[in-house]
Amino acid sequence: MGYEVRVKCADGEFGAYMASPASGKGPGIVVIQEIFGVNQVMREIADGLAAKGYFALAPDLFWRLEPGVDITDQTDAEWKKALDLMNRFDVAKGVEDIMATIDRLRAMPGIRKVGAVGYCLGGLLAYLTAARTNADASVGYYGVNIPAFLGEAANIRKPLMLHIAAEDGFVPKAAQERMMAGLQENPNITLHRYEAVDHAFARPGGKHFNQAAADLANFRTAEFFRRHLT
């Protein structure tokens, strides 16, 4: 069971959900939210990482728009709110908040390496975390709008893994091809595309959840973090 902590940044402070390993020691991982805020899905991801020996910290990245957003993907009204928040979200400020969260983890006794994992909007932010911060390793699941930031790929000097949904309704095939072509030459980037699955294939309870693809992506993520953070 996690608890809330506060993270200070250049223009204020915000809440974040912290899940700690039973051992009281281990690397850190920033859990980067979807468009639904730090909700039950994100908290469970953090709890799962803590069970594997990581300090997992999920920052409230919508705090400038509305602190404490915690909604699901189950109703039209929640989708409308989530998409509105995403459209008003300042991506650059979000990456700055992720950097502050990384710093918050690194300030804790015994934490040396810190990674990041993000989903949907958080998948894009995981990519930008790799490009703009000092995270030791980053993973993005079905990130949206990455092709708009391909010019930053050369800045990625630490390991990054991206999980791509081949039938992603938010990332057309042409955009996927541009993304893969623009990133495959960087030796620090590992790309995995999952055939016949849609956006959010790893979100438990979601409309497009696919157990086999989720299990494979999560296994690859676990091995990736084990290799680069521990």
Residues with catalytic annotation? 168, 199
Token pair of 191 as six digits: 């790309």
Report the distance separating Cα 29 and Cα 115, nearest Å: 5
Amino acid making up residue 79: W
Report the distance separating Cα 12 and Cα 60, nearest Å: 13
Helices and strands (H, E) in the chain, number of each type: 6, 8
Report the length, in residues, of the chain: 230
Closest CA to 4 of 42, 53, 51, 48: 42
Give the SS3 label for residue 127: helix
Sequence-separated (6 or more) residues with CB below 8 Å from residue 158: 130, 134, 135, 136, 137, 138, 188, 228
Per the CB < 8 A criterion, the answer to whether 69 and 60 are in contact is yes
> What does each C-alpha distance from 226 to 49, 72, 115, 230 come to in angstroms?
11, 30, 11, 5
